[in-house]
Amino acid sequence: MYLELQKRLGGAIRSVLKEKYDLELESVPLETPPDLRFGELATPIAFELARKLRKAPKMIAQEVVAALGVVEGFAGFEVAGAGYINARLDRGAAARVIAEVSDSHPFAGEAGERMGRPASAETNLPAEQDRGHALVEHTSINPNKAAHIGHLRNAILGDTFVRLLRAAGYKVDVQNYIDNTGVQVADVVVGFLHLEHKSLAEIRALIADRELRSRGAFYQGTTSVVPQTQPNQQGASAPEAVEPIDYYCWDLYARTSQWYTSGTNEENEARKRLRYDTLHAIEHGGNETAEVAELISTAVLRRHLETMLRLGIEYDFLPRESEILHLKFWEAAFEQLKKTGVLYKETNGKNAGCWVMTRPAAAGRPGAETTDGETDEDAKVIVRSNGTVTYVGKDIAYHLWKFGLLGRDFGYKRFFTYPKHDCWISAMEGEAVHPHFGGAQAIYNVIDSRQADPQANVIQALRGMGHAAEADHYTHFSYEMVALTPRCAVELGYDVPEEDRSRPYIEVSGRKGFGVKADDLIDKLIAATRAEVDARQTSRDEAGRQRIAEQIAIGALRYFMLKYTRNSVIAFDFKDALSFEGETGPYIQYAVVRIRNIFRKGGTTAEAALAELAGLAELGLYVSGEANEDIWALWLRAGRRTQVLEQCLATSEPAYLAKHAFQLAQEFNNFYHRHHILTEEDPARKTFLLATAAIVLRELMVTLTWLGIESPEAM
């Protein structure tokens, strides 16, 4: 609603300025006044024009207001302060618009359902239903250990952004890149083969056993969006629970990392050699070491998908580095890079014999402009003097593929089955019939801010190859890390050095096995919400209570990861993460439950309430006047959903929507205490109050769905 009115007012003011002063403005700044006393929209445009027109701002504002006359949807305009132009809405008409914006079935359906592309009416984005094909890469955890809280932030940010893109009318492919041939996997392979001295057969048996006996077995083939957690103590016939494979690897990876540096100098040298020999065997493929790597990385990957599914996060495609290597993606990219002159062979200096690329110009100085014959010592090495390609090189090839510019494709195999679709994985020889991935118009890479430089290199390469449009639609969706507060680290039993205890936060480290595992946190959250639900929902059955507890726990976790803007470091603490009061997911869920209770108790429905509103004459009366300002503010916020969505997309910042949902819930709770709906004696006013609740319910449910948070039936 807001967007449309803003456009209309901006247009009206622009044409007045054109007519009166012969000024052509790109756009008119419009803002929300600090208080409803000043109207619903305002512009400080007169201040800007004061110098140009050599007139007092107040005078300009008065002239503009006089010339504006009548604008549809607005009740009037006035000048305030030193020259603000304030606009007042025709509240009755605006309220009708807010009430009518709705999707086909806003109150029905599972809120946690995988978001398809909603009807255009829901997003209120006319004529922009098909915005093109976007590709979002997120999660991308090295498949050698359990996911931790840092990975959760990545996946939740990415998944939420996917939902926002889909809500706005984009076709979106979700990819989770799997580095199954990197050093991290090699390290765990070294651990299995050389620390634990296990054979291929033993490793295979160990993984099979863990998949059977660990919680992983319980998530397999589940039909529920959020699988039931497996209560370890219950079910006497269940086999003895055992740590899942990703937990096992978590410890082994940490042990191996330590092992590299814990021997004598000679031993350490040998161990390092072993490490790189193992890495190269894995990269090369076709040997037993590579087979071990494949087994482990696939088993751990499966666990990651299970963990993420608990949060309602699904993927469409899992491209793996092994296929990027063996399908010769790099060779194809290399040809293009040479042909376009992006890469050149260095003959002098420290990089002699390497194929290098000029780095992106630094913001401060152009720096990297190589004049002929001069050696750019700062250039980025893409192909080493021994002929092997670096990580950035492989990444360039992968991104050419993402945009459909590589001229090669993966093989595709089904890998994981979700309730409503399949997730595919790359393969040398895939299935004959498969969906097509890649060839997107816009891509978003959810990768932490430490990778800013390599990401900039890839963009630079694309631009250098002449793919300017693609480079412009390449977004490094960066975010800051999740760290632990020193107190939390101590609480977890880690040895925290004295000098670290006064720091604001301590970085999580997979290599050191230092961090909070994702599944542990989720389990802990569910246990906490379950205790609350058990205390409140005494007449509900076991399964019902468990389901509600899970919905609340996931809501709390997702909201926690979304409430911070991307570039603020989250200093993780159980106290904050396990909180269900104040600015949290459960607070918003609770508002939804409250509204549902009103309709249940009142023996009516939200749909009926909105239908009745249509028959209410003089709607404007109920949203005007001193006594109704708070209600009008609530309606106005309810009308902001698409505006907030667009803001989130424009800035790649889901936190704004999280904030919006909270503020709407907060204003509703205030309204709830001030106006008792079901005991209202004036039938017309009761209709209006019920419709108010219905609109807030609709808005909260749609917004929560976009955030990936379900609405429990009771709390």
Partner RNA sequence: GCGCCCGUAGCUCAGCUGGAUAGAGCGACUGACUACGAAUCAGUAGGUCGGGAGUUCGAAUCUCUCCGGGCGCACCA
Integer Cα distance of 703 and 663 in angstroms? 12
CB of 193 to RNA, least distance (A): 19
Nearer to RNA (CB atom), residue 441 or residue 537: 537
Cβ 677 to RNA shortest distance, Å: 4
Half-sphere exposure of 626 (CA within 13 A, CB side): 0
CB of 231 to RNA, least distance (A): 18
CA–CA distance, 578 with 106 (Å, rounded to integer) = 30
Whichever of 11 and 81 has its CB closer to RNA, that residue is: 81
- Nearest-approach distance from CB 587 to RNA, in angstroms: 4
CA atoms lying within 13 Å on the CB side of residue 459: 19
* Alpha-carbon 430 to chain mean position: 30
Q: How many other CB atoms are found less than 10 A from the CB of residue 116?
A: 9
Cα separation of 445 and 477, whole Å? 5
Q: Which sign, positive or negative, has the C-alpha torsion 500, 502, 508, 513?
A: positive
CB of residue 599 vs RNA: minimum separation in angstroms?
A: 8
Spatial separation of the C-alpha atoms in residues 496 and 139, rounded to whole Å: 28
Q: Which of 172/354 has CB closer to RNA? A: 354
SS3 category, 256: helix
CB of 418 to RNA, least distance (A): 27
When the beta carbons of 240 and 681 are compared against RNA, the nearer one is: 681
Decide whether 363 or 627 has the Cβ nearer to RNA.
363
677, 602 in Cβ contact below 8 A? yes
Find the distance separating the first CA and the last CA of the chain, reported in whole Å: 32
Nearer to RNA, 172 or 648 (CB): 648
Please report how close the Cβ of residue 359 comes to RNA at its closest, in angstroms: 8
Q: How far apart are CA 42 and CA 29, in angstroms?
A: 9
Which two structure tokens, joined as six digits, stand for 335? 């040809």
Count CA atoms within 13 Å of residue 394 on its CB side. Answer: 21
List residues bridging with 381 in a β-sheet. 356
Shortest distance (Å) from residue 421 CB to RNA: 30
> How many degrees, rounded to 5, is the angle at CA 593 between CA 589 and CA 597?
170
Q: Which is nearer to RNA, 41 or 405 (CB)?
A: 41
Q: Which CB, 94 or 440, lies closer to RNA?
A: 94
In angstroms, what is the minimal distance from the CB of 104 to RNA?
A: 27
412 class by beta-carbon count within 10 Å (0-12 exposed, 13-18 middle, 19+ buried): buried
Nearest residue (CB) to RNA, 354 versus 616: 354
For the CA atoms of 142, 144, 147, 152, the dihedral, rounded to the nearest 10 degrees, stands at: 0
